[in-house]
């Protein structure tokens, strides 16, 4: 690709605040106990569009950057009526916990121009092409948006949102609703903000394993000394469906079929462990689990409500094995360990217990243990979190000028643990796009040992 060094400039041309089109009564909305498990980190997402094939859109208005931005802003103002939390602000309550001030502050909307063509964007290295250029830094509010015109007439639409307010499932709901609104379609889903769905039980109860999976922030140790010689960087890879099927077959053990995500996670775990010098180093692998289907309570009205719940409904169980075990044992063994880890968190009782665990520790801030990484010489092996992005709605992100040629989350969160998210390709053929935020040495191991599987994202992988 041209521009492989990310050597292009972005000119910020305009900034304004887009508020919901209808006024609302100002009120405060508490964060749920599951929201309170998230540190104050922002998550980015972006979609790339080629120059519109059709010359005009609705009402025969020509598709120019200005007209497309008008569509985005108008639809945003409308959809914020339903997704009003994205137009609010995060403030502190009387005991110092974060909560939402629903005041229709609005969304900061940036307009920009980048002197590069879509085909030349080095999406394999988002640290150079995306970070600080095409995905906005959120300085105010809960959500920030940037629309960037490319030299070829293409467009990049990017958002950055506060993870404490929404998980990926919630953000995906919003993104689809935004695109539907832009095309004057009825919303396929309406968000629910019923915090009572995640209320703690009285008396509360939880399994002792929660004290292993989650930790009060005051109990955290200093940063992992082993990681100070390396640093986390971001890369995006393309994985073909055929390779995923072959990997899934290799992960089958004793007649037990494993999912593609389990097989993928197992391979990633083994590769990362192979780079550890000592066989006794503990390697942690966490998997993000969405609790909506676990808490749905059947097919009744309450079940439907929790499926459209807007907020965080996540748990991050993790497994821990030595580097020696992971190197010596077959892929099927690692896949079974991943499967068993997931089994511990795919029940309604697990999520109810997690809600109760947070309640027992409030107002002390808490977080997932795996995000803390190892902190001692004996326990300074790697820690990585895998989050399935298979619901990523890249195929649905049509604002009226065509489907996205590419889309991805962008989450260089800055913690000690690595983060990996596989998502469906915009091509829609079963291929994956995989965003990785890992140590530089870990990525080198992946590219050395599994170059046949993880191919650096290139322009021919885009849906042109």
CATH fold, domain 10-197, is Chloramphenicol Acetyltransferase (3.30.559)
Greatest mean pLDDT among 213-222, 277-286, 348-357? 348-357
pLDDT-based confidence at 4, cuts 50/70/90?
Answer: very low
Predicted TM-score (pTM) of this structure: 0.94
Residue 3, pLDDT above cutoff 50: no
Q: Which of 406, 412, 410, 437 is nearest to 424 (CA)?
A: 406
**pLDDT of the residue at 160:** 98
Domain boundaries, the chain: 10-197, 201-461
What are the backbone angles phi and psi of residue 375, rounded to the nearest 5°?
A: -130, -5
- 108, two tokens: 């900061």
* 201-461 matches 10-197 in CATH topology: yes
Q: Which of 109, 134, 99, 110 is nearest to 28 (CA)?
A: 99
What are the backbone angles phi and psi of residue 144, rounded to the nearest 5°?
A: -130, 145
Contact (Cβ atoms closer than 8 angstroms) between residue 379 and residue 224 = no
The span from the CA of 300 to the CA of 297, in Å, is 7
Counting Cβ atoms within 10 Å, is residue 25 exposed (0-12), middle (13-18) or buried (19+)? exposed
**pLDDT of the residue at 300:** 56
**pLDDT of the residue at 5:** 45
CA distances from 337 to 32, 121, 192, 318, 324 (A): 31, 38, 35, 10, 15
To which residue do tokens 């989050």 refer? 387
Q: Which of 153, 125, 159 is nearest to 49 (CA)?
A: 153
- 411, two tokens: 């989450």
**pLDDT of the residue at 143:** 98
Q: What is the pLDDT of residues 323-354, one digit of tens each?
A: 999 999 999 999 999 999 999 899 999 999 99
To which residue do tokens 């790697």 refer? 382
Q: Thinking of the domain 201-461, which architecture would CATH place it in?
A: 2-Layer Sandwich (3.30)
pLDDT-based confidence at 7, cuts 50/70/90?
Answer: confident
What b/e string do you get for 444-458 counting C-beta neighbours within 10 Å, with b at 16 or more?
ebbeeebeebbbbbe
Counting Cβ atoms within 10 Å, is residue 298 exposed (0-12), middle (13-18) or buried (19+)? exposed
What are the backbone angles phi and psi of residue 412, rounded to the nearest 5°?
A: -80, 75
- 287, two tokens: 């998997």
């Amino acid at each position: 690709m041209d521009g492989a060094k990310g050597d292009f400039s972005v000119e910020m041309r305009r900034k304004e605040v887009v508020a919901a089109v209808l006024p609302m009564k100002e009120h405060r909305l508490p964060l749920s106990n599951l929201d309170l498990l998230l540190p104050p980190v922002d998550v980015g997402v972006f979609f790339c569009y080629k120059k519109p094939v059709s010359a005009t859109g609705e009402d025969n208005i020509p598709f120019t950057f200005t007209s497309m931005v008008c569509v985005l802003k108008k639809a945003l103002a409308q959809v914020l009526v339903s997704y009003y939390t994205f137009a609010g602000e995060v403030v502190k309550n009387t005991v110092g916990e974060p909560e939402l001030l629903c005041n229709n502050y609005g969304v900061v909307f940036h307009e920009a121009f980048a002197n590069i063509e879509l085909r030349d964007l080095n999406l394999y290295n988002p640290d150079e092409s995306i970070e600080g250029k095409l995905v906005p830094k959120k300085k105010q509010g809960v959500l920030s948006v940037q629309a960037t015109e490319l030299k070829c007439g293409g467009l990049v639409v990017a958002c950055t949102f506060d993870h404490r307010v929404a998980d990926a499932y919630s953000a995906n709901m919003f993104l689809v609703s935004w695109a539907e609104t832009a095309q004057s379609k009825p919303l396929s889903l309406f968000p629910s903000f019923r915090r009572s769905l995640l209320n703690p039980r009285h008396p509360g109860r939880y399994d002792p394993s929660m004290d292993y999976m989650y930790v009060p922030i005051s109990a955290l140790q200093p940063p992992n000394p082993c990681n100070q010689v390396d640093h986390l960087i971001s890369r995006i890879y393309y994985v073909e469906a055929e390779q995923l099927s072959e990997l899934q077959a290799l992960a089958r053990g004793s007649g037990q079929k494993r999912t593609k995500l389990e097989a993928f996670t197992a391979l990633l775990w083994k590769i990362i462990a192979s780079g550890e010098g000592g066989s006794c180093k503990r390697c942690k692998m966490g998997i993000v689990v969405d609790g909506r289907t676990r808490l749905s309570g059947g097919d009744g009205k309450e079940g439907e409500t929790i499926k459209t719940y807007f907020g965080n409904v996540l748990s991050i169980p993790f497994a821990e094995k030595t580097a020696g075990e992971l190197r010596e044992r077959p892929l099927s063994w690692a896949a079974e360990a991943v499967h068993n880890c997931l089994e511990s968190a795919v029940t309604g009782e697990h999520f109810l217990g997690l809600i109760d665990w947070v309640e027992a520790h409030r107002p002390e801030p808490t977080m997932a243990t795996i995000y803390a990484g190892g902190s001692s010489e004996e326990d300074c092996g790697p820690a990585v979190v895998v989050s399935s992005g298979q619901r990523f709605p890249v195929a649905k992100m049509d604002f009226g000028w065509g489907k996205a040629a590419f889309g991805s989350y962008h989450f260089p969160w800055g913690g000690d643990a690595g983060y990996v998210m596989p998502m469906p390709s915009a091509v829609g053929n079963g291929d994956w796009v995989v965003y990785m935020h890992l140590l530089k040495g870990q990525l080198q191991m992946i590219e050395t040992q599994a170059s046949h599987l993880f191919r650096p994202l290139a322009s021919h992988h885009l849906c042109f």
